[in-house]
Amino acid sequence: MPVALRAFGLSDPADRLYRALLRTPRATDAELTARLGLAPEQLHSSRAELTGLGLLRPSWDDPSHLHPVVPELGLAALLARREAELLSQRQEFEQARAAFGQLRTEAAAERHHTRTEHLIGTDAIRDRLAELGAGTSSQVLVLSPGDSPTNAPNAPITPNTPDAPNAPGTPATGLLDESLSAELLARGVELRTLFVDAVRRHPPTVEYARRLVGLGGQVRTAPALPLRLVVLDQETALLPLDPERSDTATVLHGRGPVAALCALFDGLWHSAAPLCHPRGRDLNGMTAQHYALLRILQQGDTDVVAARKLGVSERTVRRLTAEALEVLGARSRFQAGARAAERGWLR
């Protein structure tokens, strides 16, 4: 079976016509259409195509007749032209790669001279994470309390529950979007993500978490998380400039400064539960969320802060507080805290 000439830029009808003319240069249009199964208009356009490529020329004997140029001349010229095009493209590619490397070096040098790296806006956060992710080789740790830079500032993602509605199709992906997570996992980078227990009642986030697990990621949930956080290769961390805003972040560099954040993550990870393990009430009639809320309130945090750490609405915080007071037989938060401490629930 002959090798097609598409690499030279020929269409299939032009390829067949050129081969036929090489065999019988004086064939008539009627003979060619019958032999090749081409319509007259196809024959005309194929002949024009071959002429444009320099594979047909006027005959020396009859200038009104187009004669095929032998491959040693016609195809050799096309091959040389193609080689020149590829060489030019290769040179452009090398120039582009050099420019890319130069820009990366300049950006890295600029960040090196900046003692504190602040990011304002979702675009800045996503772009910086993409840059850092491209250089990540071993591990990424993610704390996702429920708020996401894809939402408006001060608008945390909350579970899709009657008292805390949320857009049904919006998963709480945290700082790391799904495409970057998938790219990291495809390169063999270990990815561990911690969500709050509240996302277990938010189907889009559960589906997102299951997709991560399917790609090789690890996902667990904890009753409460203190802040948004991404740690890359135990050397670089992104954490919020303002805990109340999801569109700001700061970048921390160095194994020493980041070590404390890794230890914080490890402590939360070991006490968290895999997504496949159900979360329910214990023999005391309390859930992990209730205990976490009592510890948060003991620290003097407001309902707003408690809602952020639990990844729920303030209304849900008030409901959980009322339920905890009822279990403890307490009339006030202070009394509930005292009784919880007596029972050892705040450790």
Q: Quickly list DSSP for 29-50.
A: HHHHHHHHT--HHHHHHHHHHH
Model confidence over 32-74: pLDDT tens digits? 888 888 888 888 898 898 888 888 888 887 888 888 888 888 8
CB 159 within 8 A of CB 115: no
Integer CA distances (angstroms), 240 to 2, 123, 199, 303, in order: 64, 15, 21, 20
Angle among Cα 76, 82, 86 to the nearest 5 degrees reads 145
Judged by average pLDDT, the poorest of 161-175, 217-231, 271-285 is 161-175
Strand partners, 195: 144, 221
Encode pLDDT of 110-160 as tens digits. 555 445 688 888 888 888 898 899 889 999 999 988 643 333 333 333 333
Residue 18: CB partners within 8 Å, gap ≥ 6? 5, 10, 50, 55, 56, 68
The pLDDT of residue 68 = 87
Are 235 and 255 spatial neighbours (Cβ–Cβ below 8 Å)?
yes
Distance CA 22, CA 51 (A): 14
Alpha carbons 58 and 122: distance in angstroms, whole number: 64
> Looking at the domain 288-342, which fold is it?
Arc Repressor Mutant, subunit A (1.10.10)
**Is-contact 13 41, C-beta < 8 A?**
no
Q: What is the pTM of this model?
A: 0.54
Q: What is the pLDDT of residue 171?
A: 55
**Model confidence over 219-278: pLDDT tens digits?**
998 888 888 899 999 999 998 888 777 788 899 888 888 899 999 999 889 888 887 776
How much is the CA Rg of the chain, to the nearest whole Å? 34
Q: What separation in angstroms does the CA of 312 have from each of 1, 92, 141, 221? A: 68, 52, 22, 14
Closest CA to 165 of 324, 316, 268, 271: 316
Amino acid identity at 331: R
Tell me yes or no: is domain 119-274 CATH 3.40.50.2300: no
CATH of domain 6-68: 1.10.10
As a whole number of Å, the end-to-end CA separation of the chain is 79
Residue 320 CB contacts under 8 Å (≥ 6 apart), including other chains = 289, 290, 293, 310, 312
> 163: how many CB neighbours lie within 10 A of its CB?
13
Please enumerate in sequence order all residues whose Cβ is within 8 A of that of 333, keeping only pairs 6 or more positions apart, or say none. 297, 321, 325
* pLDDT at residue 3, rounded to an integer: 62
Percent of the chain with pLDDT over 90: 11
- Write down the mean pLDDT value for the chain: 80
